[in-house]
Amino acid sequence: MKVRLLLLPILCTMAVTIWAQEMKPEDTEVWNPEPAIVTPGQMGSPPSDAIVLLDGSNLDEWQHEDGSAAKWQLEDGAMTVVKGTGDVFTKKEFGSVQLHIEFRTPSVVEGEGQGRGNSGIFLQGTYELQVLDSYENRTYSNGQAGSIYKQTMPLVNASKGPGEWQVYDIIYHAPTFTSGREFETHPYITVFHNGVLIQDHTKIQGTTPFIGPPQVRQHGKGPLRLQDHNNPTSFRNIWVREL
């Protein structure tokens, strides 16, 4: 019995070896399906299969929560928060996406901490990736630029200065829910800030409230939402690819 047990792995190894020897290189080549051909963008412009949400010519893809036309200012190809008009939402709704978004905090520095260039990008209208002027502007770490607000601080601070254009490149995976309205799979996010990895497949714990811990709120596809936090932060060149 013992001898038989000892022989078994040896025989298995021999069988695999013989099988591998009989294989050809092409036996492990995959030709179908073939990845779709996408023409990459030039210098940050959208690739050929992107859904463009802001190209600088109009605000047609955006609205306020009540469905009225976006009242943020469109100037020089960028959309700027108009204080007190409220958050803007895309008309389209998304699940998992690759998102490219460029932002600029005001060149005239006013305020400090959370009051400097504050805005935010809410994935599925729900989970805030913080936008803030975090250049020589200390605030709580899980509330600085690139944080998942009040949850996960960025790995590093890759912020450029006030008035400079910056970019987030985001990979976001939408959650699924159990019938009991808990996460079956959490949302996950990866973020590059100005080309630097700052969120590495980060598990999102739930909503991102100002006060209190994250909550789990069941949802389906949702709009991309940009925050009016009373600071004239600007956005441009926004596009997504659905995953």
E strands, the chain, in order: 51-54, 62-63, 73-75, 78-80, 88-90, 97-104, 119-123, 127-131, 166-173, 176-177, 183-185, 188-193, 196-203, 225-226, 234-242
Give the separation between CA 18 and CA 198, rounded to whole angstroms: 47
| Radius of gyration, alpha carbons of the chain | 23
Minimum CB separation from Mg ion for residue 128, in Å? 6
Q: Please, which residue, 151 or 227, has the CB nearer to Mg ion?
A: 227
Q: Please, which residue, 118 or 124, has the CB nearer to Mg ion?
A: 118
Give the separation between CA 193 and CA 207, rounded to whole angstroms: 22
Give the separation between CA 4 and CA 145, rounded to whole angstroms: 63
The C-alpha torsion from 79 through 83 and 89 to 95, rounded to 10°, is 90
Minimum CB separation from Mg ion for residue 62, in Å? 18
Minimum CB separation from Mg ion for residue 67, in Å? 23
Give the separation between CA 181 and CA 232, rounded to whole angstroms: 37
Minimum CB separation from Mg ion for residue 35, in Å? 36
Please tell me the count of residues contacting Mg ion according to CB under 5 A.
3
Minimum CB separation from Mg ion for residue 49, in Å? 30
Which x/- pattern over 198-227 shows residues binding Mg ion (rule: CB under 5 A)? -----------------------------x
Q: Please, which residue, 105 or 237, has the CB nearer to Mg ion?
A: 105
Q: Please, which residue, 95 or 113, has the CB nearer to Mg ion?
A: 113
Q: Please, which residue, 46 or 90, has the CB nearer to Mg ion?
A: 90
Q: Which parts of 88-127 interact with Mg ion (CB under 5 A)?
A: 118, 120
Which residue number has the CB closest to Mg ion? 120
Do 99 and 243 contact (CB within 8 A), yes or no?
no
Which residues contact Mg ion by CB under 5 A?
118, 120, 227
